[in-house]
Structure 1
Amino acid sequence: MMDDESRLDKRASMFEVAQMAGVSHQTVSRVINHSPNVSASTRARVQHAIDVLHYRPSNSARTLASRRSHTIGLIAGGQHFYGPVSAISSIEEMARRHNLFLAVSMVHEALCTQSEFEELCRSFDEQNVDAFIFITPTDVMFSAACRVRFRQPRVMITSTHGSLSMGQAGRMMQSDERRRTALVGLDQWNAMAEVARLVARFGHHSALYFTGPLQWRDAATRLLGWRKAAAAHTIESREIECNSWESSEAYSRMNHDLERIGATGESKPTVVVTANDAQAVGVARALHEHGLRIPQDISLVGFDDMTGMDDLWPPLSTVRPDFEELGTAAMRETLRLLGGDVQTVYSSNAHGVGLIPARVIQRRSLGPVPHL
């Protein structure tokens, strides 16, 4: 009989586990692959043998047995930004809970080409991934994800609007691919409607809105949502278009606008709304350097509720998207498309996209219209 030390030096096989548990190797395979067609007592015997023998199933063996690799391929843009990173973390955590491995490739969200995207998909396909998740924050990436051809299900995290409409995106895919596709995103229309309602409640009817880079679908969707909501609440809104999400650009553009207002004698807006929190930080610095107090002289609202926004002075009113739930919803849709008994319930749907809520967090940077 093999002693304990020599057994540890030799990797146990499925057949040894089956022999110790008194079952067939097919039964061991069913236990490993979480098949429901195994009695509780048999499952316990097999698990005991696995523990005693320190058996670790080979992923290649599992793939041959189940015709699945238990691997999800994720291609993501926006790795330098708070939202995509938070969603990836949530996807990976849920994948582990379902005994799935997440293979990740990061790309530049604005510079990724169709050929680069297709090459990454081919690389994952060679690994026999079971499904794809694409985080496509820009029109360039969203288009590439719709055009690529493969047999596996795909889940795309994106926004409802951009230069590429959802109708155009659907026409890029073949009918069978559309049936194997799910889209999830944030409910940014309702979020901007809440911002406008709150701003109007404080008596503001003159606003300055900082856009994000409009090749980002989030920026395009937030801008359209803000325009519609501002009009509904009779808020006169002037826009400053930014080419990045960076605080430095917002700081520079706010400085320039304040200098212009000072030179022309034009009335200042009573509130500034920005497309993300980093922009709000830049705006706050520019206002401070011009001797304007927040919110006594001008109010400020951001978007994202990044870490530390509650520690700004004054603490920033902002929108808090549920990025963790966004990642969880993407993973649940993946499991559903793979045939699992999983359903995702959304608070709302628009243009074929299941939407995750984002709520306004009111803090001291938003106050009443100043008395003149």
Structure 2
Amino acid sequence: MFEVARLAGVSHQTVSRVINHSPDVSDATRAKVEHAIAQLGYRRSNSARALASNRSRTVGLIACSIDFYGPINTMASIELGVRHHDMFLSVVIVPQEEFEKSGFDSAGRSFSEQDVDALVFITPTDATLLAALRMNTTVPRIIITSTHGAVTADEALALSGTKGPVSFIGIDQWTAMHDVADLLHGLGHRSTLYLTGPSNWRDAATRRLAWEHYCAKLGMATRTIDVDSWEAGRAYDAVNAAIDAHRRQPSEADAQAPTAIVTANDNQAVGAIRALHEHGLRIPEDVSVVGFDDIPGADNFYPPLTTVHPHFSEVGLKVTGSMLAMLGAAEPPQFDRTAHGTGLVLADLVGRGSVGPARER
């Protein structure tokens, strides 16, 4: 850095400002410094910066499952947020079979050796949430999870006995499911079918609790089918079985036939739509369908899928903001809503052609 400063005819503090993208440098000075950097082939040493600042500028991220749209997009948003603050993201993906044997222990040891400044966890299940909280570490922890499961997020924190700084962040799934229920009720739907996700996933538990709560509040009948999977094929089988069982009943049972199907994710909606089409049921004239996640291509389903769009990019910003606040480098981020100690990021209901008014009986 001193060599760059000498060649550019500026102070080393000015070189530091240019490297750190400070606005307090004139365009002409910035151009001189950047020319000197290119001429000398200067590259910053993260090791040297770590020694000078007592920070590695490295964030560890541990994920147990990245097979689905939500976790993948959450990881991408965190990487963007961390990189925006000129930090590095080091990722460890723990396979399910390895996690069941040792939890996050090996990942924790790896990050301890890297001397990370903070740890971020994507914890889709109760087991992964408790493992993240029980990890022996003193660095700040940001845990991405849903509010509900076998225990709520704040109950899990109390059960674990964790002493270090912890922040919970998640998607506001309760408000999202309220919006779905409100939309269907407003269109005259009074009998619905709900497909759950995997029983051990906190997202699935939260969405189910919220859906059943708001259906009861609105006086809307709902039948819940335990699919116990996020996959389209399992949802296809479940809806096929439900339609076949209904058609074996006397005709007067048609009054209780569901006019809408709500699925715990968009993959399930794919299977449900296929089953409806194969049985000659029109969407939305006979049955409306709603998904969750707004996966790429959902707007080109036949018909285009009404679904919930989580703001995964906002999750990355909130994770980074919380981390910087816990490190004393920023003010804590503001959330539109918090519940059970969890800062919640909004998710929008996107209305499309798969939902319409309930058919007349």
Q: Aligned partners of 1:111, 1:362: CA distance in 2, in Å? A: 41
**Does the 8 Å CA contact 1:133/1:156 hold for their aligned counterparts?**
yes
C-alpha offsets along residues 140-161 of structure 1, whole Å, 9 cap, x if unaligned? 1111101101111110110000
C-alpha offsets along residues 228-247 of structure 1, whole Å, 9 cap, x if unaligned? 11011111111000121000
Q: Structure 1 pair 242/108, CA: closer, same or farther in 2 (3 Å)?
A: farther
Q: Aligned partners of 2:344, 2:98: CA distance in 1, in Å? A: 27
Question: Helix, strand or coil: the match of 1:264?
Answer: coil
**Does the 8 Å CA contact 1:137/1:218 hold for their aligned counterparts?**
yes
**Does the 8 Å CA contact 2:124/2:146 hold for their aligned counterparts?**
yes
Q: Indicate the residue corresponding to 1:249 in structure 2.
A: 234
Q: Indicate the residue corresponding to 2:141 in structure 1.
A: 154
Q: Aligned partners of 1:58, 1:70: CA distance in 2, in Å? A: 11
Q: How does 1:120-139 map to 2 (within 5 A)?
A: 120-139=107-126
C-alpha offsets along residues 258-288 of structure 1, whole Å, 9 cap, x if unaligned? 1111112343211111111110110111111
Q: How does 1:265-344 map to 2 (within 5 A)?
A: 265=250, 266-267=253-254, 268-344=257-333
Q: Indicate the residue corresponding to 1:95 in structure 2.
A: 82
Q: Structure 1 pair 285/40, CA: closer, same or farther in 2 (3 Å)?
A: closer
Per mean C-alpha deviation after superposition, the further-off stretch among 305-314 and 27-36 is: 27-36
C-alpha offsets along residues 213-260 of structure 1, whole Å, 9 cap, x if unaligned? 121110000000001110111111110001210000000111111111
**Does the 8 Å CA contact 2:59/2:119 hold for their aligned counterparts?**
yes
Q: Aligned partners of 2:47, 2:238: CA distance in 1, in Å? A: 56
Residue 171 (str. 1) matches residue 158 (str. 2): yes
TM-score by length of 2: 0.91
Q: 1:326 deviation in Å? A: 1.2
**Does the 8 Å CA contact 2:152/2:340 hold for their aligned counterparts?**
no
Q: Aligned partners of 1:109, 1:323: CA distance in 2, in Å? A: 23
- Percent of pairs with identical residues: 46
CA RMSD of aligned residues (A): 2.5
TM-score by length of 1: 0.88
Q: 1:166 deviation in Å? A: 2.4
Aligned mate of 2:339, from 344, 350, 353: 350
Q: 1:173 deviation in Å? A: 4.7
Q: 1:96 deviation in Å? A: 1.5
**Residue-pair matches, total:** 355
Residue 193 (str. 1) matches residue 178 (str. 2): yes
Q: Structure 1 pair 66/21, CA: closer, same or farther in 2 (3 Å)?
A: farther
Question: Where does structure 2 lack aligned partners over 5 or more consecutive residues?
Answer: none
Question: Where does structure 1 lack aligned partners over 5 or more consecutive residues?
Answer: 1-13
Q: Aligned partners of 2:105, 2:310: CA distance in 1, in Å? A: 30
Q: Aligned partners of 1:195, 1:15: CA distance in 2, in Å? A: 60
Q: 1:20 deviation in Å? A: 3.9
